[in-house]
Structure 1
Amino acid sequence: MGSATGWGAAAPGHDPWRPPPPCPAIELVIVTTPDLPTQYSPADVETKTYERWVSNGYFTADPGSGREPYCIVLPPPNVTGSLHVGHALDHSIQDALVRRARMRGFETLWLPGLDHAGIATQNVVEREIAKEGLSRHDLGREAFVERVWRWKEESGGKILAQMRKLGDSVDWTRERFTMDPGLSRAVQTIFKRLFDDGLIYRAERIINWCPRCLTALSDIEVTHTEDEGELVYIRYGSGDTEIVVATTRPETMLGDTAVAVHPEDERYAHLVGKRIELPLTGRQIPIVADEHVDPEFGTGAVKVTPAHDPNDFEIGRRHSLESIVIMDERGTITAHGPFFGLDRFEARPAVVAALREQGRIVREQRPYLHAVGHCSRCGTVVEPRLSLQWFVKVAPLAKAAGDAVRDGRTRIHPPDMAKRYFDWVDDMHDWCISRQLWWGHRIPVWYGPDGDMVCVGPDEEPPAGYTQDPDVLDTWFSSALWPFSTLGWPDETPDLARFYPTTVLVTGYDILFFWVARMMMFGLYAMDGRPPFRTVVLHGMVRDQFGKKMSKFFGNVVDPLDWIARYGADATRFTLLRGAHPGSDVAISEEWAAGSRNFCNKIWNATRFALLNGAVSTGLPERERLTTADRWILSRLQTVIAAVDAAFEEFEFAKVCDALYHFAWDEVCDWYVELAKTQLAAGGEVAENTKRVLGHVLDALLRLLHPLIPFVTEELWRALTGRESIMIAPWPAASPELADPAAEQEIAELQELVTQVRRFRADQGLKPSSRVAARLNLAGTALAPHEPAIRSLVRLDPPGEGFTPTARLEVGAVTVEIDTAGAIDLAAERRRLEKDLAAARKEYAQASGKLANEQFLAKAPAEAVEKVRRRAAQAQEEIARLEARLAALSG
């Protein structure tokens, strides 16, 4: 039947989200698979399966294959890191995409690697040597860097081993590290090109500075929190030129070079242009008008300290103000006077006390909550500091990055995230790329004895007697090259020619600016206007089931390795993917992980049942030889294949999971397997055909599930088909000729009848396991041929002699009469019903009470009121049902 088996190749196309040209036929080796154990044990399967995948080379890309390429470069985790729940989500999404692409016939490359994580790694090693009573300065730069490399070899890369536990199908033969020789060559090459093009420069600017780590920080390395401080109102000047400013950092007044007010603030119009005395210093400073000032903050007048505040620095540039540095790199006051040598936080109360003594303190507002930046590595309060640093001139690069998304060369998914991207690239400030560390890519600039400067390329040598710049590059600089440096750039390699631009980037929306925009800038610059990826897929943060951000403080942090140990990698992955909507945060809970484990077990049990009953995956019988149930499940399979493909196209992983979960559990396991039991019991051709249909459906279902839950599907598929690996099996293709609306309608009627009879049995107090006699009036309906299956599904025996019905149910044209005599303990059933009735009446009373409360109706949201109304209506229906049932028992 050709593609009816779901093994047909996809149609040609060049769009990476359309099927590739037909791939060469894959020869599947027949293997002998032992009988399945009664229960699925992930621990017994996962490690050995993963190692077999690796050793067989299934993950290894071949740039010369001729197939349509599909490439993802893994966002490189820090070498210091371990697998956290955010990684697990990110990797599960990427693996699902890569595994599906591989099955669809693409030449897939998922390239793994690690980031050297400059400041984080240096801090780790500094803590290690501190245990020996040493500092990095005791060792010296060369010995310290050698020590970091040794630590990296011994302890780094732990996360790579953990990725194997999750099932990441990455190409381990191409593993990269941001300080590998090849990647270091790429860093030096692009720095030299940018420098020669005038896009890298050295200048004094305000940067984020950590007084403990003694380095500049990128914005992403600064964590902002609402801290409790005080807002101090200080009187500057005197008499007619008196003006009051408000500040949270009074110690920085020692470096003030102006007071600023808004140009349209009439309160201060008469003071603009005048000079006043700065308290404690005796210096005269001007009052300037600048639109940056917020008239609503404090008094509407602000102190301007250009050397210690980024906004003040810009005001200073606009008004040609002097920048006075009043503290050193450790946060110690260097301004001469009584505060010299004090730590910045010691100086703060000392300055306030001195001002109070002079009668300069007008008001102190405390507590005052305000945003304070902290070093994300050590927690130290960050100090904005004027410093001589290296910068990238981003304007032309950022414009190119914006244009690439606007003209469709790269698309951002979900599309509404593009606005956030444009907000950043259209208003990007020059990027500080130098760090005062020893671990990282050394800035390739050398200084001569006469103060001259030369930038040295990777194949060049510095002039004799020149000294290299001591700083290293921001980690994000080398990470920005990741999509092409990992493929061999600046050399023209087969990998670069074949796999660039990469197909998809999957990452969290929180680093859209810090990493994605920078990769776009450098990729377009280095690769002749070709962006580094065709699609950027953004996901959200992982939260608990209540929507709370995960943190140690809340005690709700999930360790994915713990879940993998307890529930298996498949259950962990499925739990994460089932909540993954594009651009939205992902809620998870341990209860859902247990549910995902149960789902894997359900698939296991269904396949085991099929194998025990002789199911085979050897193609389908002719359509006219199939039963209605067979035609129904095959028709439903085609719909599900189409739905899964459509959801994958839009990166709707939650929809993929939901469609497959309900098809597998509700339709295959709960309905078709149960209907198949009757057909298998019938023997003959019906039974043989059922074995082939059941085998075919499970074969396709396992392949559809494989990208999500790879381990259990591999084990089951090998057992079902006897073939080598599901990884190299083709992706199922929908077969429209198998769609059968008539069969679907007929089985829908059967399902409705069975559901109503089950509910009726429960209302009658019949135990689910008890068999009772019943008369089914199916004559003249489409369900007549299904009587044996219906009786089996609802445990109804044919009526015998003396059959006397005690209850009657009508479902459409079907009448069901049941003899419940002797099957029910009337006293126990009455007690159960009375208990349920009391609960229903209590629920109704509570809901009705709320609806009678005028304040609730006036203040509660409309959806909350509607929810209570529904509760009241449902409780009322339940009361009527239970009262009727009790009356029937009494009669």
Structure 2
Amino acid sequence: MDKKYDFTRAEKEVQEFWEREEVYKYQNGRDRKVFSIDTPPPTVSGSLHIGHVFSYTQAEIIARYKRMRGYDVFYPFGFDDNGLPTERLVEKEGGIKAREVSAEEFQKMCLDTVAGYEEKFMDMWKSLGFSVDWSLTYQTISEKSRRISQRSFLELVRNKKAYRKESPVLWCTECRTSIAQAELDTKDCESVFYYLSFESEAGPLIIATTRPELLYGCVCVFVNPSDERYQKYIGLSVRVPLYGFDIPVMADEGVEKEKGTGVVMCATFGDAADMEWYHKYGLSYKKVITEDGRIFTEVPYIGGLKVKEARKEIILKLREQGLVIKDEPIIHTVGIHERCKTEVEIIPSTQWYIDITSDKESFLKAADEINWYPPYMKERYRTWVENLKWDWCISRQRYFGVPIPLWYCKNCHKPILAEDSQLPVDPQRDRPLQPCSCGAHPSEVIPEKAVLDTWATSSLTPFINAGFGEEGEHREIFPMGMRSQAHEIIRTWAFYTIVKSIYHTGQLPWKDIMISGFVLAKPGEKISKSQNNATLSPTALIEKHSADAIRYWAANAKLGTDTFFEEEELKIAKRFLTKLYNGANFCIMHLADYNKDEIQVLSLPVDRWILQRVHETTRQVAKLLDNYEIGQARHVIDELFWKDFCDYYIEIVKERLYQPMKHGEMERKSGQYAIYYSLLGILKLYAIYTPHMTEYIYQQYYRTFEREGSLHQTLWKIEGEDSNILEFGQRLMAVIGEVRKGKAEKQLSMKEELEELIITTPASMAKYFAATEKDIKACTGARKLIIRS
């Protein structure tokens, strides 16, 4: 091998070799059992960062592991390129708003943009050595994905699981679309409690509110029925300050007696509580806030103003008339849209929904039937399902997405569903194939303009991968073996996929779910595209430090836990890679004249021990990886390589390899046999973590002697263990360790000779030590060896 490893050349050569030889091509389960992986399609909303590398690499390591355990691995890659994230990217880069250009022009801009980003994404994943079958790549905006997504929607409508209704809905005034509960985040903001006096015949009722701009929308006042302060007000009317109309005082146990004054004004709509009371008590609706985040023009004093401007203006009006009793600064938690961080409003709108609240028990039962790694992540899912308040709103008033495949009859207003044969369909360009049931002509329709929530399509990734309803289906991959994802999308991607799978097939979408953590820029702050806090791009890091170094770092953390990233941490990975290459180089140098067919029996127990340690480590690592503990597994391999193999075995066997005349030719061959197979076993173990260097070493030497064309086509051997030999190895390392410690304490060179070395050992171990006498003397510098039992 080359004296020094040049990763800039070697990694590219190895990647080209894998692609040329189709090492990772899925074989349709013809000869081996299938293991299928449901990989998260990255959202096309900006450049990738080290956080993506961290989580995606962990899943890729499992793909390699399963392949080396004998599975035909179905490992695709996709891109989530339809929907709001892509639209916002295009708007930002183009300096425009989607509503300012034609739908056709904006959709073309989106397609051009995602094409460029996806090419960069793919190049980056390839440069990391991902063992993906790229022929299985998909896009959520592709014709196939649109067809499967629309087919799913139509089936849910026919099965009464999807429906349309007019109702208050969470609304983003920045993106100008409805959103689902799962897209709602919260943040703490500086705000003010304004104490206002609502007059009644029983005296004034003081209400503290953070949203005085909604006074015109007040429809009721609520108190807690057990609050003795306000018993006399229940059933009376109070007068809304400034506007002068009367509203009733009602009692509800949901009112927090300790918050503000314990009296709450219910306006349509200030928050989720207002919406719940609206439904619970059949309250009237008064329009205040419009879709663009302004006050309805007919609202006196503040009509046409933006919400926060209106708040300032209404307070000025109230102060002028002496209606503000006092104000009190507070920290207030508000709901925000996770995509743009804008405060969310609630307005009435007609939208499409998927029923999820009536089937909670099915979704909770599914959680118990899926294997969660780590197990505690299941509780996050359960908590989300148990606290669901609303059905899943799946329609979006946007432009670049999967169109909702239906029209409305101009005559009877009934929805007319598209037929499967015309999917994917765009209702604004296409027309129904048949007349309406009322007899109206197919041209007499109003097209649905909304598109589906992007999660309504990405929740179908198992179906897209399997090609459900398409030619050339991969039914053998379903249910999929594993879903990998980060923990923040348990409430969206994991949950919605479980919903769709149960509704469409009655089956779980996958058997196992592996949840990764975040990469943090600093405590509590994850590295993300929106925060723009990634110092170096993955591509720059790979070019500077190597893909294998990045991968080795990514496999350091315990599954599901967050980790910090600093470039300095890659020094550990680079030190390991140098050690691995130098160790392999040393071994291969001593294998120049080795004939693997010449010797099949090991002469010395220390040679048997190192092979047993490789077997033992392989068993331990396989058990950990079967539970997706990638980081713990890597640390077990590190222990074998650094301590057992490099620090001890190589040092023990070194003189025997160099001086066969002193130790014996057969003893040297025994050592060659041991380093041949122990190094090969270690390369196999590290192959899933650092695939480039391990493959390079394999091609430089082992390919001449081994049957498989690639290291990554070899299999891990899980063999039985010899406990006696393993115990001997531990005792031998302890002896050598004590000798080294003694020399270090006396500040002696490790090469300093010892007059005599006495080893006390159980009788069962004595024969092993006796057979290892020459190696022990060579390693410790002992002139005389005495073994006592």
Q: Given the two structures, how large is their TM-score scaled by the length of structure 2?
A: 0.90
Number of the residue aligned with 1:254: 216
Change (3 A) 1:144 1:553: closer
d(CA) in 1 for partners of 2:168 and 2:632? 47
Aligned with residue 699 of structure 1, among 655, 673, 680: 680
Alignment partners' CA distance in 2, 1:468 and 1:548: 44
| Unaligned stretches of 5+ residues in structure 2 | 423-430, 433-441
Residues 185 and 337, structure 2, Cα contact 8 Å, conserved in 1:
yes
For 2:612, the equivalent position in structure 1 comes to 635
Return the alpha-carbon distance in structure 1 between the equivalents of residues 631 and 384 of structure 2: 29
Whether the 8 Å contact between 1:61 and 1:171 is mirrored in structure 2 is yes
Is 1:775 the equivalent of 2:761?
no
Q: Summarize the Cα distance change of 1:580–1:50 in structure 2 as closer, same or farther, 3 Å threshold.
A: farther
Q: How far apart are 1:316 and its partner, in Å?
A: 1.4
Deviations 1:488-538 (A, max 9, x none): 11236441x2111110001112111111111011112222x1211111122
**Alignment correspondent of 2:509:** 532
Tell me which of 558, 573, 597 is aligned to 1:596: 573
Match of 2:225 in 1: 263
Q: Is 1:486 matched with 2:465? A: yes
1:421 pairs with 2:421: no
1:500 corresponds to 2:478: yes
Q: What's the secondary structure of 1:185's corresponding residue?
A: helix
Does the aligned pair in 1 maintain the 2:49–2:527 contact within 8 Å?
Answer: no
State the partner residue of 1:513.
491
* 1:656 match: 633
Letter of the structure 1 residue corresponding to residue 635 of structure 2 = D
Q: Per the alignment, do residues 553 and 618 of structure 1 end up closer, same or farther by CA in structure 2, a change over 3 Å counting?
A: same
Deviation at 1:125, TM superposition (A): 2.2
What SS does the aligned partner of 1:276 have?
strand
Moved more, 652-661 or 417-426: 417-426
CA contact (8 A) 1:713 1:726 kept: no
SS of equivalent to 2:325: strand
Q: Distance in 2 between matches of 1:426 and 1:780?
A: 63
What corresponds to 1:96 in structure 2? 61
| Whole-Å separation in 1 of the counterparts to 2:682 and 2:595 | 12
What residue number does 2:556 align with?
578
Once the two structures are overlaid, the 10-residue window that deviates more, 217-226 or 695-704, is 217-226
Counterpart residue type for residue 702 of structure 2: T
* Local SS of the residue matching 2:365: helix
What secondary structure sits across from 1:459 in the alignment?
A: helix
1:141 equivalent to 2:118? Answer no
The residue that corresponds to 1:52 in the other structure is 17
Partner of 2:352: 390
Q: Measure the CA separation in 1 of the matches of 2:250 and 2:480.
A: 51
Matched, 1:466 2:445: yes
Whole-Å separation in 1 of the counterparts to 2:775 and 2:328: 79
Residue 224 of structure 1: which of 183, 186, 189 is its match? Answer: 186
C-alpha spacing 1:580/1:618, structure 2 compared with 1 (3 Å)? farther
Cα drift, residue 421 of structure 1: 1.8
CA distance in 1, matches of 2:382, 2:98: 42
Query: How far did 1:483 drift?
Result: 0.7
**Equivalent residue in structure 2 for 1:448, among 388, 392, 409:** 409
Q: Which residue of 2 aligns with 1:756?
A: 738
Aligned to 1:318: 280
Q: Deviations over 1:133-191 (max 9, x none)?
A: x6544531122212322333344442122111121111111110112111111111111
Partner of 2:456 in structure 1?
Answer: 477
Question: What one-letter code is carried by the residue in structure 2 that aligns with 1:424?
Answer: W
Tell me whether 1:114 sits opposite 2:79 in the alignment.
Answer: yes
Does residue 696 of structure 2 align to residue 715 of structure 1? yes
Query: Does the 8 Å contact 1:167/1:569 carry over to 2?
Result: yes
User: In the alignment, which of 294, 314, 317 is matched to residue 351 of structure 1?
Assistant: 314
SS of match in other structure, 1:98: helix
Deviations along 1:453-490, whole A, 9 cap, x unmatched?
32223325522131211111110000111111232112
User: Given the two structures, how large is their TM-score scaled by the length of structure 1?
Assistant: 0.80
Match of 1:203 in 2: 165
Matches within 5 A, 1:723-738: 723=706, 725-736=709-720
Counterpart code for 2:3: T
> Displacement of 1:589 after TM fit?
4.1
Shift of 1:584: 2.6
Q: Aligned letter for 1:423?
A: T
3-state SS of the aligned residue for 1:240? Answer: coil
Instruction: Provide the C-alpha distance between the structure 2 equivalents of 1:147 and 1:748, rounded to a whole number of angstroms.
Output: 65
> For 1:614, which of 581, 591, 594 is the aligned residue?
591
Structure 1 residue aligned with 2:39 = 74
Give the match for residue 31 of structure 1.
none
Counterpart-to-counterpart distance in 1, 2:6 and 2:201: 84
1:181 aligns with 2:143: yes
1:205, 1:387 within 8 Å by CA — same for their partners in 2? yes
Structure 1 pair 113–811 and aligned structure 2 pair: CA distance change class (3 A)? farther
Aligned to 2:623: 646
1:215 is matched with which residue: 177, 197, 212? 177
Contact preservation (8 Å) 1:245, 1:298? yes
Consecutive unaligned residues in structure 1, runs of 5 or more: 1-35, 800-809, 815-891
Q: CA deviation at 1:690?
A: 0.9
For residue 305 of structure 2, the aligned residue among 331, 334, 342 is: 342
Distance between the aligned counterparts of 1:779 and 1:336, measured in 2?
A: 95
Quote the offset at 1:212 in angstroms: 2.2
Name the CA shift for 1:59/1:147 in 2 (closer, same or farther; >3 Å).
same
Q: Is the 8 A contact 1:508 1:539 kept in 2?
A: yes
Deviation at 1:325, TM superposition (A): 1.7
SS of equivalent to 1:231: strand
Whole-angstrom CA distance in 2 between matches of 1:494 and 1:265:
63
Letter in 1 for 2:85: A
Distance of 2:384 and 2:161 partners within structure 1: 19
Q: Could you say if the C-alpha distance between residues 600 and 296 of structure 1 is closer, same or farther in structure 2, counting changes exceeding 3 Å?
A: same
Aligned counterparts of 2:331 and 2:342: Cα–Cα separation in 1: 18
The residue aligned with 1:190 is: 152
Is contact 1:81–1:159 with CA below 8 Å preserved after alignment?
A: no
- 1:73-112 Cα distance to aligned partner (Å, 9 max, x none): 2111112343322321222122111112112221211111
Contact 1:246 1:299 survives alignment (8 Å): yes
Give yes or no for contact 2:45–2:88 (8 Å, CA) kept in 1.
Answer: no
SS at match of 1:570: helix
- Kindly provide the amino acid, as one letter, of the partner of residue 717 in structure 1: Y
2 CA distance for matches of 1:780 and 1:357? 97
Identity of aligned residues (%): 27
2: CA distance, partners of 1:393 / 1:90 = 31
Q: Give distance in 2, aligned partners of 1:448 and 1:637.
A: 71
Structure 2 vs 1, CA of residues 323 and 351 (structure 1 numbering), >3 Å: closer, same or farther?
A: same
Q: Deviations over 1:682-730 (max 9, x none)?
A: 4111111211110001111111211121111111122231255445533
Matched, 1:522 2:500: yes
Match of 2:667 among 652, 669, 686: 686
Alignment deviations for residues 640-676 of structure 1 (CA, whole Å, 9 cap, x no partner): 1110111112111122101101101111111111112
2:245 counterpart residue number: 283
Q: Distance in 2 between matches of 1:114 and 1:436?
A: 22
Write the distance in 2 (CA, Å) between the matches of 1:110 and 1:553.
30
Q: Distance in 1 between matches of 2:786 and 2:743?
A: 14
8 Å CA contact retained: 1:617, 1:720: no
Query: Which segment drifts farther, 397-406 or 305-314?
Result: 397-406
Deviations 1:219-240 (A, max 9, x none): 4544422221212222212452
In the TM superposition, what whole-angstrom CA distance separates every residue of 1:536-592 from its partner, at most 9, and x where no partner exists? 1222222369786447989676644343223221221121212132x3323444343
Q: Which moved more, 1:603-612 or 1:157-166?
A: 157-166
